[in-house]
Copies of this chain bind each other. A is one copy, B any other.
Amino acid sequence: MTTQTETGALTQLGAHTPLPASPDQAVLERVPNPHAELAYCIRFAAPEFTSLCPLTGQPDFAHLVIDYVPGAWIVESKSLKLFLGSFRNHGSFHEACTLDIARRLVTLLDPAWLRIGGYWYPRGGIPIDVFYQTGTPPEGVWIPPQDVPGYRGRG
């Protein structure tokens, strides 16, 4: 796993970067939090996420929503996009995949707080959602609910 943390070395922003072949090969980058004096929350919604089932090799799809309260660093958003794209041909169970994304971001950013909601498309008629946060949200920071609609089948 390559983790780029020196901002002078941002290699992907403004260039045509090919999709990394796997999460390990993805270079997730960070830049200094430009507003480190303020406690605020950043949300990314990623409805274009796909990975592979490690048992069958069949595609899985998810809608991901990531919230975090930055500390000294914020994630560079193009590298985040490429990192999420790097799961495209990567086999991973729903729970592991969701949690691994969270942990990779936590390792890179050391945020005050982070959470991820993984809203997976149904398999066998039953979708799985995975909800993880690093702990009780910090006091005084505003973190709205994700409010992704539940799965309802048909009708």
Contact = CB atoms under 8 A, between A and B. Distances in A.
B126 A125 contact: no
A19 B89 CA distance: 11
Interface string A39-55: 11111111110100001
User: How many identical chains are in the complex?
Assistant: 10
A148 to B, nearest CB: 6
A80 interface: yes
Interface in A68-115: 74, 77-78, 80-81, 84-85, 88-89, 93, 95-96, 99, 115
B155 A124 contact: no
Chain A, interface size category, equals 35 or more
A141 B122 CA distance: 24
Contacts of A47: 61, 121, 125, 151-155
A63 B42 CA distance: 15
Contacts of A121: 47-48, 125, 153-154
Nearest to A151: B45
Choose among A122, A140, A154 the residue with the greatest number of B CB atoms under 10 Å from its CB: A154
